[in-house]
C-alpha cells in the first residue's frame, strides 16, 4: 500500500485512505463505485488516478501545483509560471488562469488562499483547476454592458475553454476548465 501511495504522490495524487483490497477491487467487473471507491477519493482525484494508470498523456509533465495568496500583484508572476510550465506561449490558458484567480480576488476577497493546478490531460488539452476556500461563492456569467469595465470573466472562460465547471467540497470549491492548446513545439 505504501509503495502505491508513494508512486501516486509523484503524479500529485494523494488518497485519503487505501483501505480497499486492491487485487480484489481490480478483479471486480462492473464495480458500482469504479475508481471513486479506491481510497474513497473525489472525482478529480479519480480522473487523475485513471490517467496515471493508463500511462498519462504522451510526453506529459507532472502537474503544476501552486499555492499562494490571491492578490492582484501575483497575477503577472502566475502568467509567467504558466508559460514556463507549458514551454510555449499559450494565451488561452494564461487568460483562463488569470480570469479564475481574478474572480477569487474580486468575489472571495483579496488575500484568500488559492491553489492553482494544471496538467496536460491529452496531447492537445490542458486542465486548469483553481481552488479557493469559499464553497458558497459560485461563478456566475454576467451580462456586461459595452461600458462595463468588469463582469466578463466567465463569458471569456466560456468562449476560450472547451468545457468548464465547478466542484464543491468541504472547505471550498474548485473551478476547473479544459483548454485545447497547441503544445507540439514546446521546449523539453
pLDDT of residue 48: 67
Is 139 a member of any domain?
yes
pLDDT in tens, 125-150: 899 999 999 888 766 666 666 665 56
Are 78 and 167 within one domain?
Answer: yes
Q: Is pLDDT of 158 > 60?
A: yes
**Residue 105 pLDDT grade (very low, low, confident, very high; cuts 50, 70, 90):** very high
In this predicted structure, the answer to whether residue 35 has a pLDDT above a threshold of 70 is no
Domain range spanning residue 112? 64-180
pLDDT tens for residues 50-66?
666 666 554 557 889 99
What cell was used for 107?
468575489
Q: 74 to each of 37, 112, 156, how far by Cα in Å? A: 37, 12, 20
- Is the pLDDT at 94 greater than 70, yes or no? yes
Q: Report the pLDDT averaged over residues 158-180.
A: 89
Find the CATH number of the domain harbouring 122.
3.30.565.10
93/173 same-domain check: yes
Considering 54, 76, 93, which residue would you say is the last residue of a domain? 54
Q: Write down the pTM of the prediction.
A: 0.64
Are 29 and 83 part of one and the same domain? no
CA–CA–CA angle 65, 174, 84 (5° rounding): 30
Amino acid at each position: 500500500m505504501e509503495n502505491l501511495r508513494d508512486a501516486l504522490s509523484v503524479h500529485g495524487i494523494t488518497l485519503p485512505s487505501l483501505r480497499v483490497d486492491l487485487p480484489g477491487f481490480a478483479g471486480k467487473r462492473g464495480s458500482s463505485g469504479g475508481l471513486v471507491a479506491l481510497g474513497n477519493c473525489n472525482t478529480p482525484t479519480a480522473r487523475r488516478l485513471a490517467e496515471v494508470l493508463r500511462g498519462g498523456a504522451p510526453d506529459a509533465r507532472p502537474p503544476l501545483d501552486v499555492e499562494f495568496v490571491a492578490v492582484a500583484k501575483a497575477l503577472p508572476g502566475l502568467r509567467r509560471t504558466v508559460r514556463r510550465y507549458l514551454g510555449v506561449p499559450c494565451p488561452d490558458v494564461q487568460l483562463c488562469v488569470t480570469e479564475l484567480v481574478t474572480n477569487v480576488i474580486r468575489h472571495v476577497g483579496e488575500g484568500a488562499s488559492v491553489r492553482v493546478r494544471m496538467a496536460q490531460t491529452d496531447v492537445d488539452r490542458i486542465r486548469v483547476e483553481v481552488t479557493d476556500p469559499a464553497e458558497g461563492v459560485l461563478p456566475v456569467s454576467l451580462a456586461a454592458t459595452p461600458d462595463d469595465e468588469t463582469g466578463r470573466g466567465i463569458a471569456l472562460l466560456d468562449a476560450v475553454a472547451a468545457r468548464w465547471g465547478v466542484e464543491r467540497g468541504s472547505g471550498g470549491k474548485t473551478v476547473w476548465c479544459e483548454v485545447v492548446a497547441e503544445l507540439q513545439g514546446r521546449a523539453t
